[in-house]
Amino acid sequence: MKTEINEIKIKHKELLQKHLSEIKQVQSLIKQTVLAIKEIENSTEVSQTIEYNSKVQEFSQLPPMIFVKMPTVIPKPINSEKLCNLLGQITPLATATEKNALSLNQSNTLVRGLLDKPVIITTIQTKGDDLHSVAYYNDDRIWTSGWGDDIKCFNMKGSLLQTLKTKSGSYPYDIVVDSDGNLLYSCGTTSTVNRIKNGQAEKVIRLKKWVPSNLCITSTGDLLVTMYSDDETQSKVVHYSGSTKKQTVQFDDEGIPLYSENINCKYITENRNHDICVADSENGAIIVVNKDGRLRFKYTGHPSAAQNKPFNPHGITTDSQSRILTADLDNHCIHILDQNGLFLRFIDNIDLERPWSLCVDNNDNLFVCDYNRNIKKIKYSK
């Protein structure tokens, strides 16, 4: 079909060009005749005037007009039965009732995948500064940081393997391990995010008029940073690829700020479905937006007689089932939600004293740093 159309185009083009050439020849003859008439008009010789023959009759017969009719396609009748045999058939859409039932079944499956009673596997006593950040490195190593300038690495037996110090001498606001195994930390005094590579600290991001707070490495190896303005009146999430800003999340569709506008910590994580989840302690909420930055839901806690203080989320992480886990500091427990914000259960009735920061390993074991300067490794999933 495409070849036939091209051939038709070529033939039409040749025909129109020939017609145009004939018209131009006539135009040229007319111009020559007009010039000759002007010469006779300006001449004093009468003989030229007497001998002149008019060519009006000749020029009045222009080349015949050409009308190009566009080709039309005459479709063949479609045999619906043969078409279905070739392409297959589409089943009808599921009803809303079926979708709701599926969602409930998924949530029930997530609940059934949780242990009736979570178990503390290991307790690492750091014996250092009060802790506020923990980052998983591998199955035998964990990084921690607190209110001092030390960033420490422990093995699962509780032995201190390595100690690093921030370049500025100030405590790191947060720490995270990137996809290459390098440690990154945010520094409020220098407004930078730094990477420690081969034992040397290098600046990855330097901010102006903004202070970086909490960090998250995405599934693609990019970096999410929560930050607040120098005047402490704005907060936002910025998505970086290397040092390049890719996306900013700050307002909802109505222009209302998504996050509390102060310096309070806003721990951040990315879910398996690429949702961006922020634990906003000042708002007392988990704020979840999709990968495009549009608000999906807010979770503001779950009523319980045991949890009698306002919801105060700090650390946040997600697991292989896209469940969201967040540390409720003042109620000494962990909330577990599904990816749509539906509450599944608490991790409580175990020795948790003001849990602060969270992370999970590749086997969905949960690491929690608490007020007693301990790191607890907890098994909560089957």
Tell me the three-class secondary structure of 53-92, residue by residue: CCCHHHHCCCCCCCCCCCCCCCCCCCCHHHHHHHHCCCCC
> Is residue 50 scored above 90 in pLDDT?
no
Picking from 49, 71, 93, the residue at the C-terminal end of a domain is 71
- Residue predicted with more confidence, 83 or 290: 290
Same domain, 342 and 226: yes
pLDDT digits (tens, 9 = 90+) for 192-201: 999 998 888 8
Contacts 24+ apart (CB under 8 A), 14-17: 15/66, 15/68, 16/66, 16/68
Same domain, 59 and 147: no
The order of strands in the sheet holding 357-360 is 114-125, 374-381, 365-369, 357-360
Same domain, 48 and 131: no
Same domain, 48 and 162: no
Picking from 71, 97, 129, the residue at the C-terminal end of a domain is 71
Same domain, 185 and 241: yes
> Is residue 38 scored above 50 in pLDDT?
yes
Same domain, 300 and 194: yes
Same domain, 267 and 125: yes
Share of the chain above pLDDT 70, in %: 86
Query: What range defines the domain where residue 254 resides?
Result: 114-381
Picking from 15, 50, 71, the residue at the C-terminal end of a domain is 71
In one-letter notation, the amino acid at residue 366 is L
Same domain, 57 and 145: no
d(CA 332, CA 334): 7
- Residue predicted with more confidence, 178 or 86: 178
Q: How many domains does the chain have?
A: 2
Neighbours of 361 (CB within 10 A): 15
Domain assignment present for 91: no
Confidence of residue 94 (pLDDT cuts 50, 70, 90): very low
Same domain, 239 and 120: yes
> Is residue 283 scored above 90 in pLDDT?
yes
pLDDT digits (tens, 9 = 90+) for 227-239: 999 999 999 999 9
Same domain, 67 and 130: no
> Is residue 261 scored above 80 in pLDDT?
yes
> Is residue 46 scored above 90 in pLDDT?
no
Domain assignment present for 205: yes
Quick one: average pLDDT of 342-370?
93
Same domain, 197 and 294: yes
Q: Distances from the Cα of 246 to the Cαs of 186, 239, 242, 251, 340, in angstroms?
A: 19, 5, 10, 16, 25
Domain assignment present for 93: no
> Is residue 100 scored above 60 in pLDDT?
no
pLDDT digits (tens, 9 = 90+) for 303-318: 887 778 999 999 999 9
- Give the per-residue pLDDT at 92: 52
Domain assignment present for 292: yes
- Give the per-residue pLDDT at 259: 97
d(CA 378, CA 105): 26
pTM: 0.71
- Residue predicted with more confidence, 315 or 382: 315
- Give the per-residue pLDDT at 95: 38
Domain assignment present for 95: no
Radius of gyration for the alpha carbons in the chain, expressed in angstroms and rounded: 38
Confidence of residue 190 (pLDDT cuts 50, 70, 90): very high
Same domain, 149 and 67: no
- Give the per-residue pLDDT at 196: 93
> Is residue 23 scored above 50 in pLDDT?
yes
d(CA 226, CA 235): 7
